[in-house]
Amino acid sequence: MDRNTFRGIFVIVTTPFSEDLAIDEDGLRSTLQFCLDCGVHGVVSTANASEVGYLSDAERRRVAEIVVEEAKGKAQTVVGVSANHWRMSAAFAEHAGTIGADAIMAMPPTFHPAGRAEIKAHYQAISAASDLPLVLQNAIGLGATVMSAELLAELVNELPNARFVKEETTYPAQMTGDLRALAGERLIGVMGGRAGKTLMEELPHGICGTMPACEFADVHMALWNAIEAADMTLARTIFRCLLPLLDYEASYGIPLCKEVEKARGIIAGAHWRQTGYRALDDHARAEMLTLLDGAAAYMNPKYPHRPA
């Protein structure tokens, strides 16, 4: 993975579940096909939007295997290996290598906050366990330890395969600019997160793409294609259609992702494991469909959100 291949829209693949909350492997393959049909540049398995914290170790490995199997050679494949301790993350990193992933991505130790020395030891162990390109994920939220631009720059310059960053902390655009200035030429690329809500602000700071959840993959691709074509008028038009959907996703979280995928015929059921969320009622679903209407012009017609 280099400057040319670590660029564009890398979607986080959600994990479909059946009604009894077992992993729906057919639904996962269907989700991958949707992402590929939308033309995404990369797919990311077992990350936060994949409900990774609610998967067993065996399930994590199985999900990663299916994602890599379905997308290998069609899009870049990144396997999330974040875990509570370096021994666990290193084992997931080794597995990613055996299944043919193109890269791995890891947050600092999750669950409890980690100190600077613990973070460096964590990433050193992951780097030693796998020579795959390593994406350093800098995020906010439960289980996340925010890293400074200075620490990220040190890791990029000290670890042989840590040449990439996913930046999604409080001020991601400015953090991207700070990091690029501090890390120098060894930093190959910085991608945004937070569903792409701050992508337009991140662009002048040198962002190389974004990693949103996958239910709006086609709309994100339309936005990125407009950016690459330097048609900023069109890019702003698409962004204005996309932003209300991303705000709605922020309100309802994983249930919204799953409801959109169900409405678009990608998965059979909008089931989730992650706790703390409230299901959409009929009024919320109606609002979801109305917001989807606003972005319908940029959606893959193979996956309409309303019956023809």
Which domains does the chain carry?
8-217 (3.20.20.70)
Write down the pLDDT at residue 116: 95
Tokens representing residue 27 in the block: 């639904």
Residues 155, 123: contact at Cβ < 8 Å?
A: yes
Give the tokens for residue 255. 């249930």
Residue 120: other Cβ atoms inside 10 A: 17
Q: How many angstroms separate the CA atoms of 27 and 82, rounded?
A: 24
pLDDT in the model for residue 71:
98
Beta strands in 142-201 (DSSP E): 164-168, 189-192
Q: What is the pLDDT of residue 142?
A: 80
- The letter for the amino acid at 224 is W
Measure the CA–CA gap between 276 and 286, rounded to whole angstroms.
22
DSSP 67: H
Low-confidence ranges of the chain (pLDDT < 50): none
Can you name the residues that pair with 158 across neighbouring β-strands?
none
Amino acid at 185: E
pLDDT of residue 306: 86
The string of pLDDT tens digits covering residues 13-70 is 999 999 999 999 999 999 999 999 999 999 999 999 999 999 999 999 999 999 999 9
d(CA 289, CA 108): 37
Q: Give the per-residue pLDDT at 212.
A: 98
What's the maximum distance between 2 C-alpha atoms anywhere in the chain? 57
pLDDT score, position 307: 77
pLDDT at residue number 44? 98
What is the distance between the alpha carbons of residues 127 and 93, in angstroms, rounded to a whole number? 9
H or E stretch covering 283: helix 282-295
Dist. CA 35–CA 90, nearest whole Å: 28
Burial class (CB in 10 A: 0-12, 13-18, 19+), 137: buried
CA distance 186 to 71: 28
> Given this model, what pLDDT does residue 141 score?
85
> Cα separation of 18 and 149, whole Å?
41
On whether the CB atoms of residues 256 and 41 are closer than 8 A, the answer is no
pLDDT for 226: 98
Question: Within 13 A of 39's CA, how many CA atoms are on the CB side?
Answer: 13
